Amino acid sequence: MKKLRIVTPVYNDWASLEHLLRELDQIAEQLPFQIDLTAVNDGSTDPAVLRDECLAELRHLGMVEVAHLAVNVGHQRAIAIGLCLAVEDDDSDAILIMDADGEDSPRAIQKLVEGLGQRTDFCRVAQRRKRSENLTFRLSYLVYKFVFKLVTGKMISFGNFSVISRSYARRLVMVSDLWNNLPAAVLRSRLPIEPIPVDRAPRYTGRSKMGFTSLVVHGLSGISVYADTIFVRLLLLTVGLAVLSSISIGALLMLRLFYPLHATPGWATTVSFGMLIILVQVLSVTLSSVLMLLNNRVQRLIVPIADFAIYVDRRERMRDAAGAARTSPYPVGAALQ
């Protein structure tokens, strides 16, 4: 590997990005390849400014740029756009995705890339061990992993922190699921995944902007990638309930007809109608799911590499590969020199 491109989304957290740049500059001296960085400004409402003093301190980092999005598209889609920019530039051997808040420690990069050598195909993900979030977040995350396993049959134990070879990244940006959730898209793409145990570090500054609502939306976005799998499981559940209801109603009728003395008046009718109501409700949900799934199959899906450019307002290079400062914007799709 000669060059590694880091992609990190930023929303109103420029102080953390400066912390990240300083740490990356320190480890860049120890790594046998050049590190470039693309920060994706996800429609920040605060001024998107990297101070000249911070940029002047950098000695070992390569190119640093900020890709400004025209609107706020959300954390996962900002990552997808940054990945598409890196793939389109096509000047890196691998792309590393990480958050800019410090929880994805730059010091773990060495662990993620260790032993890659001259390999051209790889997808390594940071498998979380120790976490630094509060108890509520950790419990919510455990619930998310349990529900994900329950409805999809897949175990998910990693987040966005990952390093992907250029060849695999080209495949990933063609997957429409990337627009919803990076970890789930990686699982769905069937890329060979290598989990690397990594502890989650504390944030540089402030508090996480992901509240309970954002966490629920993030979880549902990941689960939605497996909509067809969930549909099949729901269909099997419906068939199972239909068989169970038929057997139960048949047994109730047998008891009512052949053992009337042991029956409380009206109980067979009440139970039978209750089973029928449950069955009708399940059938209604299944039918609705079938119609929505079939409708989605005839709709045009978003392909990240084909559709990302309309969201990019401009790209601002703060530092070129030689270490010189430059702040002039250049067109989306322009190759980095």
**pLDDT score for 256:** 72
Query: Are 71 and 104 in the same domain?
Result: yes
Query: Are 263 and 279 in the same domain?
Result: yes
Q: Flag whether 222 is in a domain.
A: no
Angle between helix axes 267-297 and 227-258 (nearest 10 degrees) is: 160
Computed from CA positions of residues 84, 173, 25, 71, in that sequence, does the dihedral angle turn out positive or negative? Answer: positive
Query: Are 151 and 270 in the same domain?
Result: no
Query: Are 142 and 26 in the same domain?
Result: yes
In DSSP terms, which residues pair with 314 in a beta bridge?
68
Q: Flag whether 218 is in a domain.
A: no
**pLDDT score for 3:** 93
Query: Are 72 and 198 in the same domain?
Result: yes
SS3 305: helix
Query: Are 178 and 313 in the same domain?
Result: yes
Q: How many domains does the chain have?
A: 2
For residue 99, which of 19, 192, 180, 219 has the smallest C-alpha distance? 19
Q: Which domain holds residue 268?
A: 228-297
Q: Flag whether 221 is in a domain.
A: no
Q: Flag whether 267 is in a domain.
A: yes
In DSSP terms, which residues pair with 123 in a beta bridge?
164
Query: Are 103 and 204 in the same domain?
Result: yes
Query: Are 136 and 242 in the same domain?
Result: no
Query: Are 9 and 124 in the same domain?
Result: yes
Q: Flag whether 164 is in a domain.
A: yes
Phi and psi angles of residue 327, each rounded to the nearest 5 degrees, phi first:
-120, 15
**pLDDT score for 212:** 63
**pLDDT mean values, one per 10 residues, the chain (337 residues):** 92 92 92 94 87 89 94 94 96 94 91 88 86 67 80 82 95 92 89 90 74 70 76 79 79 74 66 77 76 69 92 91 58 43
Query: Are 317 and 285 in the same domain?
Result: no
